[in-house]
Chains A and B, each alone.
Chain A
């Protein structure tokens, strides 16, 4: 199950790339900027801005899911299932209602991926598998990566590494670069904000490091979660002392994904303001450099 194929991505690995977004994640981070990626199932997205005034097409055709009164559309998401995908997908002429996530075959995905081949080869770019957590679908990722490698594309994965190691292993021969999140090192805090286990992640980082694969560590900086010097310090220490890493990227928190929560009727628990703490960012950058890491600020 994937939920997006984005061509001409230029910041998820080297060169010009196509990013394949896998649906389903083993974490549910409060600040997640792709909340539509969390569930393993197809979901309905609703963009009110595109809804046609007075239009009742969805209500007439699929009354068990849609109800619209006084221009307020309510969606009974519990009644949505895979049998209804085709109906829902085409019900709304203006695409205010759309379906996020569809099962696609490797062949179907590769047709799109191959379209930009000349751009990958010229720019040393290629394909990035993102998500969600791509390793939650170990067969799919392995097959796609293998096909990409047959074509000599550069391959990368964006992962939270919160999966059993046996899910990662089959893909290793076909991967050039890991863009792996290291969000925290503290078990309790991590559990509270992501509903996951930091131990599993740190173990996987160590395993991965042994394989000698290129790793870029990505660190989101989020107020209330890890936006403090001691958290930064311990994250950087881990990256510097326990694994061999290529680069460390800091990503100050932003709120650009909030609208998607509205489109999914999901509550938003993370801060509503972007991070505004240059001092901390400077500290992290300097400290990482001090620890001989190549530090990059993305933003």
Chain B
């Protein structure tokens, strides 16, 4: 096995990283808002798609540009590093409300100058009534508004930002260059018949596309000029040369396909950047960078030795830091669901490729260089995913484990063995299925061919729906009754557990339908009001169809919402089943009262402990509770089959929905809105995240968790089955231990057809917290002395010992 170099970074990269990570409160940047407002006003007579093109043209021409930190990859989203631009066309509501307090938001504070405030207060009123959010609210029924207000269903992030969650066709732009794409657009425009209504509308989008791509080209030229100008005054010879190189790169790729690895990476970055200037949707991803960049790497590094491998890694580092500079401001409530300002710019490596119809391992020397570069930088961007498959070499898998051991939670794994066959079953062509990549976190799509939101539509709080199902349809948090029913624990009128499941089935089907209704409003308002032009140009077959992604331009279009609190749902149902109906240990009313009082008093606590410990929990390979989750989830999945998304029949293959569990950090704010639950969880505390077991309840170790997860209908949850596991760094000290982890992963992926797993290699902080709140950390496995043990089962002294030891490892 090769030992990776996971420490070395060049001084300028280190300095750049330091500069960025010490920006505690980034600025906001009002330039985009100013330029867009100016253009929207000036071209108000134009169709919105063309108005938007004018706005982008205006902004790219005028926005502040800079080259800092001796960087090798250039391009900036906002006027300062990590400053967040404002996108008024989506919403101005929360901005007006929160602008004066932005500095004080815990964990999501932004610096706003008095001038910025004045500009925004000046700009925002003009947008009233014409933002995406305003238009959605104009259409929502009272019932839909109420569902959103109570956050039984959450769709805020879909209205105050663009969609994104996709990777565009990078190979297309690398092969054709910007001029090549413009030529393609113009050729398509020539074939339009302006006496045909369809073509007439297509002409708007294609004109906008033409304008936007030209603007992109001119924008890149601006960097060529800036770099040249800076080179003139640069006193350090080496940097002068670099600046000239940057100027040459930009000048070339503003029009032509890139020739070198450096130019190719630079062009990819510009695309990522401009997509995030055009729209503020997150999870804009690279797709399979190690595949389409490899020919350049091979030529420059391996054949012509134009640059060294270390040069190539430094360029990647520069690119990764430029990704970290891109930022997004979210409303206060949305920030909580996206803790830590994540952008989820995913890079996928590994996996397979089809050669003459046969799948072969796609790992190459660039895959390893990318992996190593991320391991050295230990940054949050890019979000690195590895596509696992049975033929992945031990060498590469070991390299992945070495990086996991660094403790920053990457790479995550997606599993070819499940994703590819399921995509093919769904209707994806084999060539495309083999080319899938991770998008954002764990969700997957075919880069360059798939519309937005392969996941991340509206969120449903499953756990609150359980509470409603148990209590006459009443939401325990707001008191609202959306779908009334006779049966309620407080009335003691459930005659058996089957009635509870029937009640759940009715309730969840109702919320599923409502979530789709809400998505229809949002989808169409985004389609009509916030066209993403460049993004559409770079996805097949938008140009040929003359349609944006939202109008049905993509080759494939499946979307998924997210279901939050799965483990709590299963555990709550199981506790009711076992303790109320089977053992009769707790009466219906007693449970209802305890939940209502949040387990108040000694009796409440005794009952809560009974609920916690007296019924099996999901994640322990217990067939009964695991099956309950499958049954409960089935109601949702079955209901989804009834619906088509708004692009159905308008071009794309697909046009339907599937389930998804990659609910980012929504489990925390959703938990904060969820009353006490029958799994013994206290009110307002976090729910379980993704498809992972509830914290501290999976006490039988990782194999049992894998077995539980393996029972879920993964083939119906193509929005992703998220599993987080925690490991102590010392668990991976020895090569034998890493091999065991590798073999465990192989078993999980090949036998259990696991969708995804990621590792938290836990730190001292976690161990300290685990010591203070052992209930939350029951699943934490630590290496003790010749054996491994569950951390919380050790004496305080032993825990101290291990806490002290861990410091040496991280």
Q: Which A positions have Cβ atoms within 8 angstroms of B?
A: 6-12, 15-16, 49, 52-55, 57, 90, 93-95, 115-116, 118-119, 122-123, 249, 251-252, 254-256, 258-259, 262, 274, 298-299
Structural contact, A10 and B737, CB atoms closer than 8 A: yes
Contacts A118-B751, A255-B798: A16 and B614 contacting too (C-beta < 8 A)? no
**Measured CA separation A57–B610 after assembly (Å):** 12
Closest to A263 in B: B795
Neighbour of A115 across the interface among B607, B610, B613, B621, CB < 8 A = B621
The interface residues of chain B lying within 8 Å CB-to-CB of A274 are: 801
> Which of B351-359, B548-556, B561-569, B739-747 lies at the interface?
B739-747
How many A-B contacts are there with CB distance less than 8 Å? Answer: 107
Q: Smallest CB–CB gap between B727 and chain A, Å?
A: 11
The interface residues of chain A lying within 8 Å CB-to-CB of B602 are: 52-55
Structural contact, A11 and B774, CB atoms closer than 8 A: no
Q: B786 in the interface, Cβ–Cβ < 8 Å? A: yes
The interface residues of chain A lying within 8 Å CB-to-CB of B801 are: 254, 256, 274
The interface residues of chain B lying within 8 Å CB-to-CB of A254 are: 784-785, 798, 801
**Measured CA separation A262–B774 after assembly (Å):** 18
The interface residues of chain B lying within 8 Å CB-to-CB of A122 are: 743-744, 746-747, 751
Structural contact, B785 and A16, CB atoms closer than 8 A: no
Structural contact, A10 and B786, CB atoms closer than 8 A: no
Q: B704 in the interface, Cβ–Cβ < 8 Å? A: yes
Q: Smallest CB–CB gap between B257 and chain A, Å?
A: 45
Neighbour of A93 across the interface among B614, B774, B787, CB < 8 A = B614
Contacts A118-B752, A123-B743, A254-B785: A7 and B613 contacting too (C-beta < 8 A)? no
Give B739-768 interface residues, CB cut-off 8 Å to A: 740, 743-744, 746-747, 751-752
Q: Mark B768-810, 1 if CB is under 8 A from A, else 0.
A: 0000001000000101111111000011111001000000000
Q: B496 in the interface, Cβ–Cβ < 8 Å? A: no
Q: Can you list 23 contacts pairing A with B, beta carbon distance less than 8 Å?
A: A7-B700, A8-B704, A9-B787, A9-B788, A10-B740, A11-B787, A11-B788, A12-B787, A16-B743, A55-B602, A57-B606, A93-B607, A93-B610, A93-B613, A95-B609, A119-B703, A122-B743, A254-B801, A256-B794, A256-B795, A259-B798, A262-B795, A298-B785
Q: Which B positions have Cβ atoms within 8 angstroms of A?
A: 602, 605-610, 612-614, 621, 700-704, 707, 737, 740, 743-744, 746-747, 751-752, 774, 781, 783-789, 794-798, 801
Contacts A54-B602, A255-B798: A7 and B701 contacting too (C-beta < 8 A)? yes
**Measured CA separation A52–B789 after assembly (Å):** 25
The interface residues of chain A lying within 8 Å CB-to-CB of B704 are: 7-8, 115-116
Neighbour of B703 across the interface among A16, A93, A252, A262, CB < 8 A = A16
**Measured CA separation A118–B752 after assembly (Å):** 9
The interface residues of chain B lying within 8 Å CB-to-CB of A49 are: 774
**Measured CA separation A12–B788 after assembly (Å):** 9
Structural contact, A55 and B795, CB atoms closer than 8 A: no
Q: Smallest CB–CB gap between B75 and chain A, Å?
A: 46
The interface residues of chain B lying within 8 Å CB-to-CB of A9 are: 787-788
- For the complex with contacts A10-B740, A11-B786, 9 further pairs of A-B residues with Cβ separation under 8 Å are A8-B700, A8-B704, A11-B788, A53-B602, A93-B610, A115-B704, A116-B704, A254-B784, A255-B797
Closest to A298 in B: B786
**Measured CA separation A251–B613 after assembly (Å):** 35
Contacts A8-B700, A256-B794: A251 and B614 contacting too (C-beta < 8 A)? no
Closest to A258 in B: B795
Neighbour of A116 across the interface among B703, B785, B786, B788, CB < 8 A = B703
